[in-house]
Each structure stands twice: as C-alpha cells, then as structure tokens.
Amino acid sequence: MDLPRAVGGSAAGGRGRYGWETRRLGAGVTMPRTRDVGPIVLLGPPGAGKGTQSKRLMERYGIPQISTGDLLRDNVQRGTELGQAAKAIMAQGGLVPDKLVCDMVRERLNQPDCRRGYILDGFPRTAAQAGWLDALLEEKFFDNPRPTQAMPIVVRLDVDYNQLLLRITGRRSCPSCGRIYNVHFQPPKVDGLCDVDGTALVARDDDRLEVIKPRLEAYERQTRPVADYYERTRRLVSIDGDQPMDKVTERLFSIIEDNQA
Ligand code: ADP
Ligand code: ADP
C-alpha cells in the first residue's frame, strides 16, 4: 500500500500559538517538544473536534496526527486499491473493514516520524481495532520501543447530539493545507477562503445530513464499545467537548502533561 508521509499530518512546524514556549509562559507546566509523548488516542463521535484538537497537539508536541479518515480520503482520491474498496462504504457512512484499516495504520506507524509518539484520530473505531492496537503496542515494533510500548493516553470528547449536527453541517476545510473551519463557530476571515493560503474551502462529501445519520449510528453501535473497553481497563479520560475549542485544548494539554509527570 502506497501512503505518502505527509498525509494525515506531519510533525513538521515551528513553535506556534500552542507551542511549548506559550505554555511555559502560562500555567508553569513545562514539557519540551523533544520529550517522548507516546501514543495519544482521541475518541469521539463525528464532529466532536478530534481533528481540530489533533492539530493543536501536533503543533505543541511535535508528533504527527494520524487521521484514518484523512488517510482513507487520500486513498480514495488517488484511486488506490484501498481507496476503491473504501469509497462506497465511506459515501454511505459505514465503517471500512478492520483488516484494511489496520494494515494502513501499521504502515503509517512504521514511519520514523512516529517514534516519539503520535496522535490517533478516528482510530480505533471498533473493538477489533482496539484489540489489534493493544497487541501492536506490545510488540517490539520500532527501533525505539519506548513510545509504542507505552499504553496510549485515551481521551474521549463528549458532545451533545444537536451540537454535533451543527458542527458537521457547518464544517469546511482547506483542501490545500487541511485547516478546519466552521461556518457557525470558526469562520474564515474571508467567506469561503482559507486564512492561510486563500484556497477555496470545501465541505466533505459525507457531511450531508443523509450520511451523517448512519455515521452517528455507526459510532453508537461500533465505537462506543471501544470507549467502554478503555473505561473498563481504566484508561479512558472524558472531556466535555461542548466547551469552546481553547478550553478543550487546555484540558487536553493538562491530561497529557499530568500523565508525563
Ligand atoms: P469524522 O471526522 O467525522 O469522525 P473521519 O474523517 O474520521 O470522520 O472518517 C470518515 C470516514 O472514514 C468514516 O465515516 C469511515 O467510513 C471511514 N473511517 C475512518 N476511520 C475509520 C476506522 N478507524 N475504521 C473504519 N472506517 C474508518
Ligand atoms: P472530528 O474530527 O471529530 O470529526 P472536527 O475537528 O473536524 O471534528 O470538528 C468538526 C467541526 O466542528 C469543525 O467545523 C470545527 O471547526 C468545529 N469545532 C471543533 N471543535 C469545536 C468546539 N469546541 N466548539 C465549536 N465548534 C467546534
């Protein structure tokens, strides 16, 4: 399977708004971008803010965001074998078979930028994927075994159903740099154009009401048990994802940094 490294996020980027220096001036909690962070799993229904928060984590800790949705969309766009298998399923709001997704994730995690840690956004989404990830983390999979053998920090973003609908229907993104906007909650400075590079923003094909419903149902049926699994094993931390983005980010940083202390 052919996966370009940049897709699904890259660890590159300077110290920005959520970078380490900002934090040092703030609450006094310090955590260098160079320290191993280990795996972070972001769970939550479609529209909960996983992608938005992943990008902030990526910038602060210098670790890549691995969004299975982004990786799959890239495969669909490039017409790969995986993309052809996934296209119709994604268009209908179903879940792509575990084997295909796990193979894709394995290949992505094997890239060197994942050695210090990574953010899994939208994975695992089924009990089978969660079991597969646990098994993978027990393997000596990388040259540097530390971050991978560490158990992931698992965080779930909880958001009210009606709020989710607004977030999903209002979501727009930049096809060029991947920045996420929202016509209701986070509009661009110029209507319809990316603040960073001026590219025309797009809505995702599956962010239509008729596809949103099956996606939310798939979450309830297949992904909620994943959170239950992590909860049973005392690895789940839940965040009130209905709060403003910056509040959610602050809470996430403190969970991760408390975990490293
Ligand atoms: P959202 O951001 O709304 O949570 P994603 O971008 O993560 O959605 O996923 C879009 C679609 O890609 C899903 O509806 C599903 O079809 C497919 N997909 C993404 N991640 C997975 C996964 N881990 N397992 C199976 N299918 C997935
Ligand atoms: P997910 O990856 O979980 O599907 P996204 O990060 O793409 O979710 O967010 C979905 C939409 O909701 C985006 O348009 C984003 O701008 C918006 N959004 C994200 N977090 C918040 C928040 N805390 N408050 C209001 N809108 C938000």
- Nearest ligand 1 atom to the CA of 67 is 7
Identify whether 252 is part of a domain: yes
Residues of the chain with pLDDT > 90, as a percent, come to 72
Task: Note the pLDDT tens digit of each residue in 93-152.
Answer: 999 999 999 999 999 998 999 988 999 999 999 999 999 998 888 875 545 454 445 689
Which residue range is the domain that position 22 belongs to? Answer: 1-34
Task: Note the pLDDT tens digit of each residue in 185-210.
Answer: 999 999 999 999 999 999 999 999 99
Identify whether 99 is part of a domain: no
Is there a single domain that holds both residue 124 and residue 8?
A: no
More confidently predicted of 246 and 138: 246
Is there a single domain that holds both residue 241 and residue 216?
A: yes
Other residues' Cβ atoms within 10 Å of the Cβ of residue 113: 19
Identify whether 187 is part of a domain: yes
Identify whether 201 is part of a domain: yes
Residue 37 has a pLDDT of: 84
Is there a single domain that holds both residue 178 and residue 204?
A: yes
Q: Element (H or E) spanning 173, and its range?
A: strand 171-173
Residue 19 has a pLDDT of: 41
Identify whether 17 is part of a domain: yes
Residue 105 has a pLDDT of: 96
Task: Note the pLDDT tens digit of each residue in 146-173.
Answer: 444 568 999 999 999 999 999 999 999 9
Residue 149 has a pLDDT of: 55
| Choice among 50, 56, 60, 87 that is catalytic | 50
Is there a single domain that holds both residue 209 and residue 153?
A: yes
Instruction: Give me the number of domains the chain comprises.
Output: 2
Q: Whose Cα sits closest to atom 12 in ligand 1?
A: 69
The overall average pLDDT reported for the chain is 86
Identify whether 106 is part of a domain: no
Identify whether 121 is part of a domain: yes
Is there a single domain that holds both residue 23 and residue 53?
A: no
- Nearest ligand 1 atom to the CA of 125 is 23
Residue 3 has a pLDDT of: 31
**CA-wise closest residue to 54 among 164, 179, 167:** 179
Q: Whose Cα sits closest to atom 3 in ligand 1?
A: 46
DSSP letters spanning 29-58: ----TTS--EEEEEE--TTSSHHHHHHHHH
At 183, which CATH number? 3.40.50.300
Is there a single domain that holds both residue 199 and residue 232?
A: yes
Is there a single domain that holds both residue 194 and residue 211?
A: yes
Is there a single domain that holds both residue 151 and residue 42?
A: yes
**What is the Å distance from ligand 2's center to 49 Cα?**
4
Is there a single domain that holds both residue 46 and residue 2?
A: no
Q: How far apart are CA 223 and CA 219, in angstroms?
A: 5
Task: Note the pLDDT tens digit of each residue in 2-37.
Answer: 333 333 333 333 333 444 433 443 444 455 566 778
Is there a single domain that holds both residue 119 and residue 15?
A: no
Residue 30 has a pLDDT of: 52
Question: Strand 38-43's sheet: what is its strand order?
Answer: 65-67, 117-121, 38-43, 153-158, 236-240
Residue 168 has a pLDDT of: 97
Identify whether 41 is part of a domain: yes
